[in-house]
A and B are shown apart, each in its own frame.
Chain A
Amino acid sequence: MREATLTMTEPISGNAGDVVNRPAPAHADPIAIEEAELVQRARKGDLAAYDQIVRRYQERVYATVYHMTSNHEDANDLTQEAFIKGYQALKSFKGGSSFYTWVYRIAVNKTINFLKQRKNRAQMSLNDLDFNAEHDPDLVALISDKNPRREAGLTELQEKLNEGMQKLSEPHRLVVTLHDVQGLSHEEIAKIMGCNIGTVRSRLFYARQQLQGFLADYLK
């Protein structure tokens, strides 16, 4: 699971869609070329190719949806639906952005629609923390002053953090998730959200302010 965490923060590969429509230059990113080939095969109905695409991006897509919903079951359903929708809509994928950005956008739109519908019946179903959490220097430093019982402290922090996240509006929660949790750049977030970078920055600042207010008791 540590591997999954690391892959979540990998930068998005280049514009694979451009490679689909034009001959690849010699210096093109091999990952992007491979993605483009997989996408082309999947467009022709090759399910094995699409299976590889799903395996490649599932962790990042799932993580985003999970952090938005704070519910594993909902995240599971939405992630599956996003990949199914991605397959059904492959013919409309023009390659203007990378496939990753495109499927991410589908997942984000589905999640936001879902959250608007469930508005008043939000229920958290949190995933367990992995073993490495106890050894994360940031977290150790954060809880050592608060609570000597580390495990209980981390679980409590996890619940409060998720409650705080759920109090944010969907766009603000999404920006915090993509930037502070997933490690995406402002440019990448702007592409996914379909807004400009200034909007991303201002939303991030406001969301952090809000979150800091909610979690004041748990921050130094």
Chain B
Amino acid sequence: MDKPNFVYVTYIASTPEKVFKALTDTEATARFWFGNAVTSDWTIGAPVTFHRNGELVVKGEVLEYDPPRRLSYTFHSQHDGLYTEQPSRVVLDIEQQKDQVKLTMTHDDFAPNSKVFEKISSGWPLVLSSLKSYLEANRVLRAPWYDKETAAAS
């Protein structure tokens, strides 16, 4: 029985240090990750939290912290009733290739029939596209699902 995993590769005209920093920095993630700001002291076993507009949306724990090559944490969605699912795992591998960075994101360890898996499968390409735009052009992307929230609330 195959357990699903989601792998996404992108190439970014930047340095491993800048890519690693953007993925671990509260202000940077607030910008490119559509307001989802990450906080952690990044020691092994320490909590990792993502907050958006003051609300805790994802929490986890640092598994690996090896700047600027590899970052890994558990991923436990807190919103939309998804917290009943067991935490999954995110691994970010950062590799210098000539004067570019190859970034490989692997998200695995999902519960069977995971609803989180479906959501992150559409989330990661947008997040990592936004990261690339942020580092290369200092512009970020918008997440259409937040636009719908704003529209629904008004």
**Chain A complexes with chain B:** no
| A residues with CB within 8 A of B | none
B interface with A by C-beta (< 8 Å): none
